[in-house]
Structure 1
Amino acid sequence: MDLHDDRARALLDRFRFVPDARLDDLMISYATDGGGVGPHFDSYDVFLLQVKGKRRWRISAQKDLTLQPGLPLKVLQHFEHEQEWVLEPGDMLYLPPHIAHDGIAEGECMTCSIGFRAPSESELTAQFLYHLAERGEATGKAGALYRDPRQAAVEQPAELPAALVERVGAMLANVRWNEQDIASFLGTYLSEPKPSVVFDPPQRPLNEARFIGAASRSGLRLDRKSNLLYERRFFFVNGEEISWTGAKKWLFELANLRCMSAKRFVTLSHDSPVTALLHEWYCAGWIQVGEIA
């Protein structure tokens, strides 16, 4: 919902005591009396905020997470609750990953689910290696091509040559990375919008001069779909890495507050590289004119 409604985005922002790199999304579930999805577990941290009506939550730290076969949802086959609470509007329940839970509506109810990213080790490993490969191609450092000039003629052509395995193993052993490579990967990967996200560029975009004038009067804000992260040397916006040396503190402020006041923008309006960058983001639909939606 945070991608489609500014009020939902504002509610999600109340949870930014957790780093944006971990904050995922806000979903809303509606149910009539007795409704629910059944006992299940999530693979990520989640806050369950009751916003309308009542919902009875039963939870368990059980180790048996076997799922019922043949169902489109991942419903637990065996569920034995250990604790339970009835949440009323304003109440909230925090659940760590893999805590079994079952929520049943008591009358008509609505619950907000605020989820956090918890990528697996295998996911991070695969994506990081892909990131290294992409950077190697982008910088022209793809390395030498595989060659085997001493490969003799074979009688079993389908057999994988032992020399091939050994040579490729040696090539992979030469893969190197440093802390900046890891930071660059995390910044681009964790700021990348989900595949379903589509930005809405302005239908009749202002040219840069008019954009500067409008932002000087009304300020700027990040689009609710945009992700802007940073570390010591780089900014990461919607999956793109940007090296920036000038006006860093104002970009820090835009990232942390998700908006920039008109007064603050005026102090930047003389800096053409900054305004050109912000105008580019505006034309892409990544930022909007106006501090408040």
Structure 2
Amino acid sequence: MQLDLNGITPKQFLEQYWQKKPLVIRQGFKNFKDLLSAEEMAGLACDEMVESRRVFKANDEWQAEFGPFESYEELGEQDWTLIVQALNNWVPEAEALIQCFDFIPRWRLDDVMVSYATPGGGVGPHIDLYDVFICQGSGRRRWRVGDLGPHKEFAAHPALLHTEAFDPIIDVELLPGDILYLPPGFPHDGVTIEPSMSFSVGYRTASAKDMVSAMADHIIDNDLCNEQIADPDRVISEYSGVVDNTDLERIKQQLFATLDDKLVSEFSGRYLTQSKCELDLPEQPLGFQSLDVTEQIKLQPLIKLGGLRCLYFETSVADGVLYINGEQQQLTAGNEAFIAMLCDTQQLTSADLTPWLDNSQVIEQLTDWVNAGYWYFDDID
């Protein structure tokens, strides 16, 4: 699968469009094929581990239901949509789609969402707070996109936040292989013309409020930042009830001093690698030994689990620090090339791992991750 941005480079896209304005990319994918069939998608939505919902109208009122679902016959043949989140957690083929957008770092990735809709189906006019590349699969869908502005939102249903009517700056019919890029804040509405599927690659970050709240929990849980304000150079205060500018600066400095690179990276590494949806992990650790892994890697690549989040920071990778699935992992210093390869690539081949096959700590840690289900061999007898 190869992405064609219609003559512009990824650098130009980031400079001119990313978080700035929408873009229609005609035939961004040549000969695009659905990553799964509608039947396979319906099967996923029957699984209680998979996050799914369907949206439709009943008596001219918007309705939303959450899976798992047992049947779709009662919905008829038009005016409804089925949505499955985190397709990349369950369908390995979704990885190839994500890789096409890897000029944006994975820590910004939310997930790949798949939507199947019958004629007339959609989720209504709404505004998203994340960037998304809507990749049209089979069928056709009409999209209307409005400009930024003070659009009034309202609850069309407890699970559906809609926006009032808007004047479109884009009114387009997407065909298989077409892509619509939408930055946050632009109202949009998609209505299916014929049975169709679309695959949305979404990128989001948490709000400052959510991050600060989670940071506070991290500080409390780990008993950090217990230092108190020191003011040995205090001068006489003329007014006992005032916090003067000097003291305000002391308070600010105490708060800012806590947010050093070490604390921020340790917290955000855990925070950003937490999966929002359940991963397809084994209930019990697998029984691989280090020798099993080293022998098997000679026969086939080791594959990263779909949806697994792992990252490293430039400030700490030389110290052997990385983050996987919400946890900080520690290797010995000097393994930055291994850590980068682990986090940057989806598959580890024998050639990739050759420099580390004699490193017992690296192989033992890798074996632990294989036993946890984070990396796996596709074909084991």
Q: Quick one: which of 123, 134, 138 aligns to 1:37?
A: 123
Q: Quick one: which of 12, 17, 24 aligns to 2:103?
A: 17
CA offsets 1:178-219 (integer angstroms, 9 cap, x no match): 122112222111111125335236775322222221123323
CA offsets 1:253-275 (integer angstroms, 9 cap, x no match): 12111221112323322111001
Instruction: Give distance in 2, aligned partners of 1:180 and 1:203.
Output: 31
Q: Quick one: which of 215, 227, 240 aligns to 2:297?
A: 215
Q: Report the counterpart of residue 175 of structure 2 in structure 1.
A: 88
Residues 203 and 132 of structure 1: CA distance in aligned 2, closer, same or farther (over 3 Å): closer
Count of paired positions: 264
Instruction: Please tell me whether the aligned partners of residues 52 and 109 of structure 1 are also in contact (alpha carbons under 8 angstroms).
Output: yes
Instruction: Please tell me whether the aligned partners of residues 191 and 237 of structure 1 are also in contact (alpha carbons under 8 angstroms).
Output: yes
Q: Quick one: which of 73, 76, 85 aligns to 2:160?
A: 73
Instruction: Please tell me whether the aligned partners of residues 50 and 110 of structure 1 are also in contact (alpha carbons under 8 angstroms).
Output: yes
Q: Report the counterpart of residue 277 of structure 1 in structure 2.
A: 365
Q: Report the counterpart of residue 236 of structure 1 in structure 2.
A: 323
Instruction: Please tell me whether the aligned partners of residues 269 and 323 of structure 2 are also in contact (alpha carbons under 8 angstroms).
Output: yes
Moved more, 20-29 or 7-16: 7-16
Residues 98 and 194 of structure 1: CA distance in aligned 2, closer, same or farther (over 3 Å): same
Deviation of residue 89 (structure 1)?
Answer: 0.7
Instruction: Please tell me whether the aligned partners of residues 273 and 324 of structure 2 are also in contact (alpha carbons under 8 angstroms).
Output: yes
Matched, 1:286 2:374: yes
Give the counterpart letter for 1:61 in structure 2: D
Give the 5 Å matches for 1:98-109.
Answer: 98-109=185-196
Q: Report the counterpart of residue 132 of structure 1 in structure 2.
A: 219
Deviation of residue 124 (structure 1)?
Answer: 1.5
Deviation of residue 112 (structure 1)?
Answer: 0.9
Matched, 1:178 2:264: no
TM (norm. structure 2) is 0.64
The DSSP-based 3-state class of the residue aligned with 2:222 is helix
TM (norm. structure 1) is 0.81
Moved more, 44-53 or 261-270: 261-270
CA offsets 1:12-37 (integer angstroms, 9 cap, x no match): 22211101110110011111112111
CA offsets 1:209-254 (integer angstroms, 9 cap, x no match): 2222112332322111311101131211111112331432122112
Q: Report the counterpart of residue 253 of structure 1 in structure 2.
A: 341
The DSSP-based 3-state class of the residue aligned with 1:86 is strand
Instruction: Please tell me whether the aligned partners of residues 216 and 265 of structure 1 are also in contact (alpha carbons under 8 angstroms).
Output: no
Query: How many percent identity over aligned positions?
Result: 27
Matched, 1:49 2:131: no
CA offsets 1:146-187 (integer angstroms, 9 cap, x no match): xxxxxxxxxxxxxxxxxxxxxxxx999855231221122221
> Larger RCO: Structure 1 or Structure 2 (Cα < 8 Å, ≥ 6 residues apart)?
1
Instruction: Give distance in 1, aligned partners of 2:122 and 2:363.
Output: 50
Deviation of residue 70 (structure 1)?
Answer: 5.0
Instruction: Give distance in 2, aligned partners of 1:70 and 1:38.
Output: 9
Moved more, 75-84 or 253-262: 75-84
Q: Report the counterpart of residue 119 of structure 1 in structure 2.
A: 206
Instruction: Please tell me whether the aligned partners of residues 201 and 282 of structure 1 are also in contact (alpha carbons under 8 angstroms).
Output: no
CA offsets 1:45-96 (integer angstroms, 9 cap, x no match): 1111101111111011152432334513112233332321111111101111
Question: What RMSD in Å do the two structures reach over aligned CA positions?
Answer: 2.5
Instruction: Please tell me whether the aligned partners of residues 183 and 231 of structure 1 are also in contact (alpha carbons under 8 angstroms).
Output: yes
